[in-house]
Chains A and B, each alone.
Chain A
Amino acid sequence: MAISKDHLLWMYETMYKIRCYEDKMAEAYAEGKSPVFNIGAGPVPGEMHLATGQEPAAAGMCVHLKKEDTVTAPHRPHHHAIAKGVDLNRMTAEIFGKATGLGKGKGGHMHLFDPDVKFSCGGIVGAGIPHALGAALAAKKRGTDWVAVAFIGEGAANQGAFHESLNMAALWKLPLIVVIENNQYGISVPKTASTAVPSNDVRAAAYGIKGYYVKDNDPIDMYNVSKEAVERARTGQGPSIIEIETYRYLGHFQGDPEVYRDKNEVTLLRQKDPIIRLRNYLLNECGVTEETIAQLENKATFEVDQAYAFARESDYPKPEEALEDVFV
């Protein structure tokens, strides 16, 4: 399959940006939480689920999407939001609880909504799948070639909403793609202890739809598989499931004691980091220069820095604003 170099460069930049973003978020989140960790303290309070290590899923899929395509994401949403082109300043301001945020500080990190690029996410496991199903239904009813992508964790594939939605999508041949990021755990529970099948792509057979499996967090493979699934959806050939074997470098949430896994596990995973792998691929197989790579990296870092500065400089909402927006 032909791979566009521009696409790969976009993917690299996006993955790099996501990594910078999450690294910076880990630092911001830790502020005000030492020497004693307190989940409610600091400039970024509440739960914080970071996607460090899981960049290929978001970048490899979203490179094929346009603004009109819908993305729904779960509680771990930053990588999807960035790849879908959510306004980085307003997203960061939202996570800092500021009035300039996407939801004026009402939503927070698990509840980011950017209708301009048709992105949403939420804190209830599996809940985004039917929303993507509905977007796919709307696309079909209106005769557009738009598609809808629901990103979920492997844990969410055991929710009723997953099975109910896929059956309907198959029945009505809707342009729905469910991307399952198998990062091996649902909080502390390893996939082997929660899921009866070795990988979720095989569940596609139950609905008579396409199932794809991407091994070892491979960005190129994710790119190829997503391309095919999106093309199929756009041309009326119906839904698909993509499962990607991916890795969560950090705890389920920041502050997770991670008693359920060997500390060495992550050290080994980082040795085959997908960003480094893609970088090497670009340099060695695509004739991209170090200079080009550095330019992309600088651009990404700059954007991320800007977003954090914007968030920090913005004002908090006024307390009484809590009462607004219940009804529109």
Chain B
Amino acid sequence: MQQTKQRLLTGNKALAEAIRLEMERDPNVFVMGEDVGVYGGIFGATEGLFQKFGPERVIDTPISETAFIGAAIGAAAEGMRPIVELMFVDFFGVCMDQIYNHMAKIPYMSGGRVKLPMVLMTAVGGGYSDAAQHSQTLYATFAHLPGMKVVAPSTPYDLKGMMISAIRDDNPVVFMFHKTLQGLGWMDQLDASIGHVPEEAYTVPLGKANIVREGTDITIVGIQMTVHQALEAAKRLEQQGIQAEVIDLRSLVPLDKETIIQSVKKTHRLLVVDEDYLSYGMTAEIAAIAAEHCLYDLEAPVKRIAVPDVPIPYSRPLEQFVLPNADKIFREAIQLVNE
């Protein structure tokens, strides 16, 4: 058997490498955002790019999100391929008009004649006491609005492959990376934030879920942190004789319904876990898909774990109470299997 050489990269380095490769390949690609230059992005997504490409292609902007995200739209309409960083997804509030009324709708309103090949990349997630305005994921807020692809990879391998796909895509892509999965030295150290990443450019398709663990007794669907929590829970479930299948959605739009449906048909039980708010969110969408396509395959009602419709609180015991974790998944899964 041929041995594959393992080259381990953190999430942030995988992302930066994807952008570097595409910038080398295509002069139309450039990066814009706050602190993306010398600093390398607050969460390291543009590490080393300024040093390599200089201030013409890696542009620090003023704190003017409406203007620079709007400018990315304008430049994309001209055929450039901008990557703009919204430092934290929570800041979408100051620039959402550009995002959902323009970036997401211009291609449609123009009857497909105007293309916006841009990437809006942004950091999501909490768990480190950054409180209500810096800890959200807002997956569903973006996924709800038609006209933009919304992806959220969970491993360094996918971060690189999906970023390359996003840059090459002719549609606007909202690319969410999870802070804790960037593998930064100053946050919680998670094994999952470091992984094998090939040196060359490769693509991972946008819109294809990944079965990261096969099982027969229950399907657990998650994205980003909740995938890793589900995997941890699955290990403990195995000790109880329960085989959990874990699906990493990777992409919310397009959503890979087929993988979910096939899995539920096999396991007959579904638990959906989300670091976003509970109501009107991803968990409800997946539950609806199950109800529409495989209701009679279910042997128990669908269960959901998500943030219980409160803003993310600051204090550690409060925040830990509202966020999903492996314990909660383990407990719910046991209950569900015994139902």
Contacts and interface: CB of A to CB of B under 8 A. Distances in A.
Given A45-B316, A188-B39, A40 B187 contact: yes
Interface in B23-46: 34-35, 37-39, 42
B131 A160 contact: no
Interface stretch (B56-64, B250-258, B324-332): B56-64
B132 A186 contact: no
A260 B55 CA distance: 14
Interface stretch (A59-67, A105-113, A176-184): A105-113
Given A40-B187, A46-B314, A322-B313, A159 B131 contact: no
A111 B314 contact: yes
B316 A322 contact: no
Q: Is the interface of A mostly helix, strand, loop or mixed?
A: loop
Interface stretch (B2-10, B105-113, B164-172, B303-311): B303-311
A39 B187 contact: yes
B34 A189 contact: yes
B311 A326 contact: yes
B315 A316 contact: yes
Interface stretch (A81-89, A121-129, A221-229): A121-129
Contact of B133 (A110, A259, A260, A323): A110
A106 B128 CA distance: 14
A46 B34 contact: no
Given A38-B186, A125-B63, A323-B310, A105 B318 contact: yes
B247 interface: no
B39 A259 contact: yes
Contact of B188 (A40, A111, A159, A255): A40
A108 to B, nearest CB: 3
Contacts of A101: 315
A106 B313 contact: yes
Contacts of B63: 125-126, 155-156, 158-159, 186, 194
A53 B34 CA distance: 24
A187 B315 contact: no
Interface residues of A, number: 51
Interface residues of B, number: 44
B322 interface: yes
A158 B129 contact: no
Contacts of B241: none
Interface in A276-324: 316-323
B133 A321 contact: no
B134 interface: yes
A37 interface: yes
Interface in A139-188: 155-156, 158-161, 186-188
Contacts of B62: 155, 158, 186, 189, 194-195
Interface string B69-95: 000000000000000000000110110
Q: Which of B91, B128, B189 has the most CB of A within 10 A?
A: B128
A169 B83 CA distance: 36
A97 interface: yes
B94 A110 contact: no
A159 B320 CA distance: 33
A45 B128 CA distance: 7
B308 A319 contact: no
A326 B38 CA distance: 40
B316 A97 contact: yes
A45 to B, nearest CB: 4
B315 A260 contact: no
Contacts of B322: 322
Contacts of A38: 186-189
B144 to A, nearest CB: 21
B66 interface: yes
B86 to A, nearest CB: 12
A194 to B, nearest CB: 4
A111 B133 contact: yes
A108 B314 contact: yes
Contacts of B316: 40, 45, 97, 316
A36 B188 CA distance: 10
A26 B241 CA distance: 49
Contacts of A268: none
Given A160-B94, A322-B322, A40 B131 contact: no
Given A46-B130, A158-B63, A319 B317 contact: yes
Contact of A320 (B127, B188, B321): B321
A68 interface: no
B315 A97 contact: yes
Nearest to B308: A323
A47 B64 CA distance: 22
A318 B321 CA distance: 9
Q: Which of A38, A45, A195 has the most CB of B within 10 A?
A: A45
Interface string A90-112: 00001001100101011111110
Given A193-B60, A259-B38, A319 B320 contact: yes
Contacts of A318: 317
A188 B187 contact: no
A156 B67 CA distance: 14
A251 B105 CA distance: 40
Contacts of B94: 124, 126-127, 159-161
Given A105-B313, A194-B62, A46 B129 contact: yes
A322 B132 CA distance: 12
Nearest to B91: A124
A319 to B, nearest CB: 4
A186 B87 CA distance: 13
15 contacts: A36-B185, A40-B127, A46-B314, A105-B318, A111-B133, A111-B314, A123-B131, A161-B94, A188-B60, A195-B62, A255-B186, A259-B39, A317-B318, A319-B317, A321-B318
Q: Which 4 A-B pairs have the closest CB atoms?
A: A108-B314, A40-B128, A97-B315, A105-B315
Interface of B: 34-35, 37-39, 42, 60-64, 66-67, 90-91, 93-94, 127-134, 185-189, 308-311, 313-322
Given A106-B311, A124-B93, 6 more contacts: A45-B129, A97-B317, A105-B315, A188-B37, A317-B315, A323-B310
